[in-house]
Structures are given as structure tokens and as C-alpha cells.
Amino acid sequence: MLFQEIIKILDREDAKLAFLLCHHNADPDTICSAYAFKSLLKHFNPNLEVKIGAANGISRLSRNLLKHLPIELEMQPDIEKSDVIMLLDTNTIQQLNNLAEKLRNSEAPIIVIDHHAPHPQTEQIAELCITDEEVSSTCEIVYNFFKQTSVKLGKDEAKALFLGIVFDTRHFIIANSSTLKVAAELTDAGVNAKETLPLLSLPMDISERVARLKASGRAKLIRINEWIIAFSHVSAYQASAARAIIELGAHVTAVAGQKNENLGISLRSTREFYKKTNIHLGRDIARPLGEYLHGMGGGHSTAAGVNGTGNIKNGLKRCSWLLKKKLTDS
């Protein structure tokens, strides 16, 4: 049982403090999975102090969820004092921003729990990696831990896991049958779906609307065989802009953003593109692109991200080269 491997590490270290770290701009999947997982750890070790740390703030949607769930977050986590460090929904340490170097230098064992393709550099520093790309979200992995251990979910924990799953499946649009079964079991555990779902529906603010429109207007298109690929850039909301360009009709898009020398690129594709080409954005594009940009990249088959250094023009040019190479080699 995978959860027991975590308990063994905690017992071996005689751990007094464990930090659960969420990626930068923490979304509902990462904070909700950390919250429910904290409850599970406390069930098996009531004396263990468990803290949840957000590397570089949380998303607007996550801030709204904090009004409805008793989640306590540390925005400047002091991980040097931690006996064990766990990364949830975070497959590259670059996603931890200013905590990345502290993590590299830490002597505490590192555990990764994630539903993204594991990154080799993360695997090198982690003592234990629990990853499953077949599930919808990290919340679903944590839910499976509860089932494996036969620990009953509290109502708040069930609500948190439900919200994380709904968010990462885009309101069940990309959910598979096992995910829908989990959602049904969570409603049986006390989640009122009718009351809970609206918590993930916030009106889009003006700055995000402007970013989407700018990115769409700047998009440069190329066509390879039957596929339309769009490249763009915007100073903020790259992921949202990438989703918007896909909704407009592109099969694949890469939207870049730069702050000083730091470069971020959000990648999205349609399910049709992945099924027909077998090009996994996280593994085949984001990972090598991250290495090229002296950073890290990873993610899902149809949604991925890259953080590194360089300029937008070169980053998108390399991204285009990688996509062309994969499409012409296949």
C-alpha cells in the first residue's frame, strides 16, 4: 500500500513537523489535496505537526475557496525546520519559485504525490514518488489513500476533494468513468454538489479578459498537415489565454510570458490532437523545452507548463521546432 510507504518514512525520521508544499499560484487541486491529506496524516499520527505551504501565492479561485473551507496556508513556509517535505500536485521544483533552492539543499526526505508525468530531476531528489497519470487530479490520488486505509472522510475533506476534482476535470468535461465514480462516492460522503459547484464559478475579472483578447490578437498561426498551431505572448494569465485560443479553434497553442529574465510558457492542445498524434505535451514538449530554457517543464497530455530563462521569441521558436519535429517524425 503506497500510503504506508509514507508512514514508514515519517516513523523512520521520528518526524515532528511535515510540510505539504503547493505549487506557485496554487490552484484548487493542489490546496484541496493538501488539506485532505493533512487530515489523513493527522489521523495516523495525531502528534505530527502538519503545515501547508504555498510557494508564491494562490489563485483567485483558491482564495475564494478559503472562505468556505478551514484551510490554513503559510505563504512564506519555513521549510528548513521540516523533518519531511511533501510536494502535492507539483512535479518540478521550479514550480516552487523561491523555495526551489531551499528544497535542493534540504536534508529532509522529499515525497512527491502527483498526477502529472514525473520529471527526472524531481525523481532524483525525491525519496518517494507516488504519481498516477491515469487519474484526473491529485485530489483523486488522496481520495484513493482514504479508501486504501478505510479512514472515513469528514464533510470538509470530502468537499475539498470534490472541488479539486471538479476544477482539474473542467467540471467533468475531461473526467473518465473512474473519476465520475469517485465524485459519486464523495456526494455519498456528504457533499452537496448543487451547493458546492458554484464555488468554482467566479466572474472573470477585467485584466484576465484583456489578457485573453491580447493573446488572441497576437497569435501567430502555422499549419502542419491537419493541425492548426498558435503561438502568442501576454504579460499575465498565460494559461487562461492558452485555453481561450484552443476554444477559438486552434488544435495546439503555446502562450509565453516574461518577467525580467524569467520565462514561462503555457501549453494546451485538444484531446483530438493527443489521441491522433500521441504527442504528450508534458513529456514530449514541455520537458525538453524546459531543459533548453535552463529550467523545468512538465504536465499532462493536453496541458503543460514551462519555467525557465530566456526571451519569448527564442522560447516560442524552440517550442515550434519541437512540435514540428514530433509531427514530422510520427
Residue-wise pLDDT tens digits, 212-265:
999 999 999 999 999 999 999 999 999 999 999 999 999 999 999 999 889 999
Q: Is the pLDDT of residue 12 over 90?
A: yes
Rounded percentage of the chain residues whose pLDDT exceeds 70: 99
Confidence of residue 310 (pLDDT cuts 50, 70, 90): very high
Which positions ≥6 away from 94 have C-beta within 8 Å?
100, 290, 295, 296, 307, 308
Fold of 207-329: Diaminopimelate Epimerase; Chain A, domain 1 (3.10.310)
Q: Kindly compute the dihedral angle of the four CA atoms of residues 136, 244, 207, 305, in this order, to the nearest 10 degrees.
A: 50
Tens digit of pLDDT for each residue in 54-92? 987 899 999 999 999 999 999 888 899 999 999 999 988
Distances (CA, A) of 241 to 220, 264, 307: 14, 13, 17
> pTM for the full model?
0.85
Write down the pLDDT at residue 1: 65
CATH class of 2-200: alpha beta
Measured distance CA(152)–CA(304) in Å, rounded = 34
Tens digit of pLDDT for each residue in 279-292? 999 999 999 999 99
Q: What is the location of CATH 3.10.310.40 in the chain?
A: 207-329
Q: What is the location of CATH 3.90.1640.10 in the chain?
A: 2-200
Write down the pLDDT at residue 299: 87
| Nearest by Cα to 92 from 23, 42, 26 | 23
Q: Is the pLDDT of residue 24 over 80?
A: yes
